[in-house]
């Protein structure tokens, strides 16, 4: 009995000291380290760090209507940077739980971090995301690090070399023409009509990524896109809470929904990647290597074992590409169209340039070489005016 008590007490003291070390000692040491360099930040609170403030600031920002359209969107999408950089300077330290985050904004510093990263030899390793991100982006390129990242990158990169990207132009053109025809058909005979452009562009980029990366169409990926949209809401809500290790395994309402969405996405993807006589063209000797999906499927049976990837890894990469391929492009195009609608003089100039290169009513289908000649359009898309 006596020795049992001593053992229990030792264990309790050990865990107490360990907890004190990670939630008080390490944050204090980190703060002092940066303070000596003149870097400060919002006050650290044990366990939660600044998560509560981040959540409140974000909720307050989205509850206010946007005052007009402006590129200055930081206050809305991530108000903590705007607020804390005014108080503490452009470089500041803040806390997500017990994890320190250093916000940097000096271009030279940002460049150093972005360029000196990710490769196995890079100094700055990608931040370790919470495992929740897996439900949305998959356990693919976005999350992998070191040798596994380099391995997947080797398999996937050939799908995105410039020559291949140029081959996508007719496919993208086809999707664009189908979208425009649909708009015309749905609104035939109407003097004026409204289109929910954001939604339409989401369908458009979903169709493009399905075709160029997976050799299928929006209809085949439709269920994945729907499920990912719902998953995006669940994951972004969960990310606003402090991450408690193991919490994602508790059967809360949201966790159960996230599990079931993930399960269904995996099931649909299983079907898309499973071998079928007419679709499963293996990429061999440079043939049938057009689609990202084929490149990954071929890597399943690479002659060298260390170059192979398995079905689970392919599914995780597919999740990343379905999500990244649709969301980024659709939001980017929507924003560009909003700005063109706001600045009609630029809209007019951009239209003139397109007519000059592609002919009136785009009589000649634009080719990859033509796109390179669209100087003004390209400046608009890259926000490099003025």
Q: To the nearest 10°, the Cα dihedral for 366, 369, 370, 371?
A: 90
Give the DSSP letter string of 151-182: HHHHHHGGGGSHHHHHHTHHHHHHHHHHHHHH
Exposure of 347 by Cβ count < 10 A (0-12 exposed, 13-18 middle, 19+ buried)?
middle
Q: Using the Cα atoms of residue 19, residue 22, residue 25 and residue 31 in order, give the sign of their dihedral.
A: negative
The yes or no reply on residue 49 touching ligand HEM (CB under 6 A) is no
The answer to whether the CB of 32 falls within 8 A of the CB of 93 is no
Binding ligand HEM (rule: CB under 6 A), the pick from 95, 135, 204, 321 is 321
Say what angle helices 292-299 and 253-273 make with each other, to 10 degrees.
Answer: 90
Exposure of 292 by Cβ count < 10 A (0-12 exposed, 13-18 middle, 19+ buried)?
buried
Q: For ligand HEM, which is the closer residue by CB, 79 or 138?
A: 138
Q: What CA–CA distance (Å, rounded) separates 220 from 268?
A: 9
CB of 192 vs ligand HEM, minimal distance in Å: 31
Residue 89: which residues within 8 A CB-CB, separation 6 or more? 39, 40
The answer to whether the CB of 343 falls within 8 A of the CB of 386 is no
CB of 321 vs ligand HEM, minimal distance in Å: 5
Binding ligand HEM (rule: CB under 6 A), the pick from 324, 336, 340, 354 is 324
Q: For ligand HEM, which is the closer residue by CB, 41 or 325?
A: 325
Q: For ligand HEM, which is the closer residue by CB, 130 or 320?
A: 320
The yes or no reply on residue 111 touching ligand HEM (CB under 6 A) is no
Exposure of 50 by Cβ count < 10 A (0-12 exposed, 13-18 middle, 19+ buried)?
buried
CB of 159 vs ligand HEM, minimal distance in Å: 9
**What token pair was written down for 254?**
């949201």
Binding ligand HEM (rule: CB under 6 A), the pick from 141, 155, 269, 374 is 141
Instruction: From residue 15, give the alpha-carbon distance in Å to each of 18, 19, 21, 257, 328.
Output: 5, 6, 10, 34, 44
Instruction: Quickly count: other Cβ atoms within 10 Å of residue 13's Cβ.
Output: 10
In the range 198-227, which residues lie near ligand HEM by CB under 6 A?
A: 209
Q: What CA–CA distance (Å, rounded) separates 97 from 240?
A: 11
Interaction pattern, residues 327-366, with ligand HEM; x per rule: CB under 6 A: -xx--x----------------------------------
Instruction: From residue 275, give the alpha-carbon distance in Å to each of 122, 218, 270.
Output: 37, 20, 10
Q: For ligand HEM, which is the closer residue by CB, 95 or 321?
A: 321
How many residues form the binding site for ligand HEM (CB under 6 A)?
A: 12
Q: For ligand HEM, which is the closer residue by CB, 209 or 283?
A: 209
CB of 220 vs ligand HEM, minimal distance in Å: 17
Q: For ligand HEM, which is the closer residue by CB, 36 or 382?
A: 382
The yes or no reply on residue 44 touching ligand HEM (CB under 6 A) is no
CB of 142 vs ligand HEM, minimal distance in Å: 5
Binding ligand HEM (rule: CB under 6 A), the pick from 33, 35, 43, 153 is 153
In the range 248-307, which residues lie near ligand HEM by CB under 6 A?
A: none
| Region from 33-41, 319-327, 340-348, 361-369 binding ligand HEM, contact rule CB under 6 A | 319-327
| Region from 8-16, 194-202, 277-285, 326-334 binding ligand HEM, contact rule CB under 6 A | 326-334
DSSP state of 21: I
Q: For ligand HEM, which is the closer residue by CB, 126 or 164?
A: 126
Positions in the binding site for ligand HEM (CB under 6 A): 126, 141-142, 153, 209, 320-321, 324-325, 328-329, 332
């Amino acid at each position: 009995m006596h020795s049992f008590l001593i053992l229990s007490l030792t264990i309790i003291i050990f865990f107490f000291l360990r907890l004190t070390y990670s939630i008080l000692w390490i944050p204090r040491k980190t703060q002092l380290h940066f303070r000596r360099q003149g870097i400060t930040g919002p006050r650290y609170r044990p366990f939660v760090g600044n998560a509560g403030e981040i959540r409140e600031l974000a909720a307050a920002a989205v509850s206010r209507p946007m005052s007009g359209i402006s590129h200055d969107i930081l206050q809305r999408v991530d108000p903590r940077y705007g607020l804390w950089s005014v108080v503490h300077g452009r470089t500041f330290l803040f806390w997500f739980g017990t994890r320190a985050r250093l916000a940097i904004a000096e271009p030279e510093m940002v460049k150093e971090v972005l360029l000196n990263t990710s490769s196995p030899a890079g100094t700055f390793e990608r931040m370790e995301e919470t495992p929740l991100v897996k439900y949305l982006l998959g356990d693919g390129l976005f999350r992998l690090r070191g040798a596994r990242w380099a391995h997947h990158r080797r398999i996937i990169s050939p799908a995105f070399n410039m020559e291949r990207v140029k081959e996508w132009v007719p496919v993208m053109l086809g999707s664009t023409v189908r979208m425009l025809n649909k708009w015309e058909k749905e609104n035939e005979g109407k003097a004026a009509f409204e289109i929910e452009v954001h939604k339409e562009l989401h369908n458009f980029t979903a169709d493009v990524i399905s075709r160029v990366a997976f050799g299928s169409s929006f209809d085949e990926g439709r269920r994945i896109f729907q499920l990912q949209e719902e998953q995006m809401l669940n994951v972004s809500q969960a990310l606003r809470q402090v991450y408690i290790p193991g919490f994602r395994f508790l059967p809360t309402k949201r966790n159960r929904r996230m599990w079931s969405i993930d399960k269904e996405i995996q099931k649909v993807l299983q079907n898309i990647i499973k071998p079928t006589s007419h679709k499963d063209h293996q990429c061999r000797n440079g043939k049938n290597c057009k689609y990202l999906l084929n490149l990954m499927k071929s890597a399943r049976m690479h002659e060298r074992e260390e170059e192979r990837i398995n079905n689970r890894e392919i599914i995780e990469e597919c999740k990343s590409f379905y999500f990244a391929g649709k969301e980024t492009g659709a939001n980017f195009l929507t924003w560009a169209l909003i700005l063109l609608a706001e600045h009609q003089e630029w809209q007019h100039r951009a239209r003139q340039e397109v007519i000059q290169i592609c002919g009136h009513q785009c009589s000649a289908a634009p080719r990859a070489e033509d796109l390179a000649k669209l100087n003004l359009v390209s400046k608009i898309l890259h926000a490099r005016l003025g």
